[in-house]
A and B are shown apart, each in its own frame.
Chain A
Amino acid sequence: MKRIVAMNSLTLITAFLATLLILVPFDASAQKPIKVGVIDTYTGPAAVFANDALNGFKLALDEINKKGVLGSKIEFTTRDDKWKVDLGMSVAKELVMREEVDLIVGTINSAVTLAISDYMKSEKVPFIVWISKSEHITGSKGHRYVFSTGENTAMAGKAGGVALAKKPYIKYWIAGDDYEYGHAIADAIWRNLKALKPSVEKMGETWWKTGEPDLIPYFTSVIGAKPDAFIVCGGGMTMANSLKACKTTGIHEKIPVFMHTATDHAVLKPLGLEAPEGVMGTMDYHFYYPETTANKAFVKAFQDAYGAPPGFPAFHGYITAHFIAEAFRKAGAIDKEKFINALEGMVIDSPGGKIEMRACDHQAVLPFYLGVTKKVPQYNFLISGDIVTLAGKDVMPSCEEIMKARGK
């Protein structure tokens, strides 16, 4: 009896101590680098974008770390949230409490973003969002500790509204991923379209589970309903899947389709020449437009490093790194509060021209390009054609509107 108890005790204690010991961090770096935690979805369809963003980020860091920032280098460590909110939360907690990062960047799933944003607010650690697009991130749920270097649904909604108001379509069908982003982009586009053209009608809505791999039944159902036009609100998991379903069902040949980000390279590339032509889309970055010196240099450097041209996530990742470096330089110290103060209102140079980090809502002011997917002889993927440019400040909500949304 005694030995059993002794063995049980030994077992329990050993397991317990081993558990603790395993978790002790054993890094001890001499000169304190700037630690950035990157949380993104590296598993599943959204991984295409996450990797693109990380590549842009790394490309910028290579340039930045040559000179260094405040005598240190910027280091980063990545974590995979696998598109799940619970995983995103636990890695955020691990990065903040165990790795003690100076800031966190990333996320593509808007639901993950909002959950982490809430946590970062309570921990008072800065969080820069680079792909997630829900306008609530810097809008109604924005706060001091969250920034966005990507465009958001308010901007895309306005651009989409402008584009569609010019068309003769009256009856619309709206469909999309049943999660934060899907609903946000649908609301934004419809709100703006209705304001510009009150005669439009919403025939119906279809919401499928996020990342639903088999969209054909939903698309054939929409074809049956015979709307004048079809707005697809697909997120990171679904962007390319929707285009594929378009091609399979041929819906875009019968009914005009509009989808924010349909014209993005990261979305079109995997489909190659099989992507559907004639789908309308909006985007805030194209590697082939505009053909400025800065853009061409960025594209060449990216192509040399990674063997393919950059999509919009790479652009966002790239400017995020530069924002971080410049803000720390201006702050003069690796201090979170000083970093935030420096970042507000900061303007940097980028492949897309000068980009400002608007102080009132922490949203980067980005240009918008409306286009239509089309085949061109020089590439074996589709690009955006008939491009119309909208300036960032024309599509963003005003500071007053933001403050009202935040309930201030």
Chain B
Amino acid sequence: MDFSAFSSQFLVGLSRAMILFVVCGGLSFVLGVLRVPNIAHGSLYMIGAFATFTFSKLIGGSAGFWIALILAPLLVALVSLIAERGLFCHLYQREHLMLLLFTFAVSLILGDLVKIVWGAEYRSVSPPTLLKGSLSIFGASLPRYNLFLLIIGPLVAIALWLFTNKTKIGKISRAAAVDREMVGVLGINVSWVFAIAFVIGCYLAGVGGALVAPTASIIIGMDHSLIIEAFLIVTIGGLGNMWGALVGSLIFGVTQSLGVLIWPQFAIVFPYMAVVIVLLLRPKGLLKSVW
């Protein structure tokens, strides 16, 4: 296997990890603040992808994708806000198992809603003209769109870091993750903190869905395959830890891509094995959990 093949696979894996990170960053954030793994995260990701298709088709042309990239996650955030304010917030007093099952119920409902709204057939979105075709890097060909992902990923990471460390809301969310009672005692409406954290996390799921749209078929069922990967990633990263989500995504994306080179049939097993190895050594995840 020559270097160009290896590097091209590595870069493809890295770019895939970026999408995973965007999604898992959101999942981790929600997990950290609300202490509940949001199973509906996968469905929101799927809505993001389908919405990207609709918006880009409506607006048409190359600009279509860019505008969809902005609008689709907003739509997803809106959906999550409705779910949160309408139903979810009433459950905050209940035990966590109920919250988890609630997110599962929402994922079931959203999954079928997508089918009702968009139909059961698959959709396809093309990358915008700027990002079509491939480039030659180190003698290997890398689709331009994947290069774009490699740039977006770190940008999202930086944006998240700035948010949680430099903005007031971000800092309050971080505090609520560690000790929600204290935050309440300080006079801050914890319920609204949860709402904001939840919506932002889901917004990121929508962004992830929008980003993945031009690379893969947009199909019913993409929520199920994604959510299991996302769960594994946040588990090995450390529950609620966003840098952990980054580390986990990198491990996952890169091991799968390299797996394609080594043993294509079992490529998808490599990341799962990596997860198990990490967990056997550090059962609570690589980085410290937020709580």
Contacts and interface: CB of A to CB of B under 8 A. Distances in A.
Interface in B1-58: 1-2, 4-5, 8-9, 12-13, 16
Interface residues of A, number: 36
B3 to A, nearest CB: 10
Contact of B219 (A44, A218, A220): A44
Interface in A184-231: 205-209, 211, 213-218, 220-221, 223-225
A274 interface: yes
B141 A220 contact: yes
B264 A43 contact: no
A48 B122 contact: yes
A250 B217 contact: no
A274 B4 CA distance: 28
B249 to A, nearest CB: 14
Interface stretch (A121-129, A240-248, A370-378): A240-248
Contacts of A240: 122, 124, 217
Contacts of A241: 122, 216-217
Closest 3 CB pairs of A and B: A224-B5, A213-B216, A45-B122
Nearest to B141: A223
A216 B268 contact: no
B260 interface: yes
Given A44-B220, A217-B9, 18 more contacts: A43-B220, A44-B219, A45-B122, A47-B120, A47-B122, A213-B216, A216-B143, A216-B216, A217-B256, A218-B260, A220-B5, A220-B12, A221-B261, A224-B1, A225-B5, A240-B217, A241-B217, A249-B143
A270 B257 contact: no
6 contacts: A45-B217, A47-B122, A217-B13, A223-B141, A244-B124, A270-B122
Given A217-B16, A221-B9, A44 B120 contact: yes
Interface residues of B, number: 43
A43 B215 contact: no
Interface string A30-43: 00000000000011
A214 B264 contact: no
A175 B267 CA distance: 14
B256 A248 contact: no
Contact of B8 (A205, A209, A224, A271): A224
A51 interface: yes
B220 A207 contact: no
B222 interface: yes
Contacts of A337: none
Contact of B134 (A42, A206, A217, A249): A249
A138 to B, nearest CB: 28
A285 B261 CA distance: 37
A220 B122 contact: no
Given A44-B220, A218-B264, A224 B124 contact: no
Nearest to A270: B124
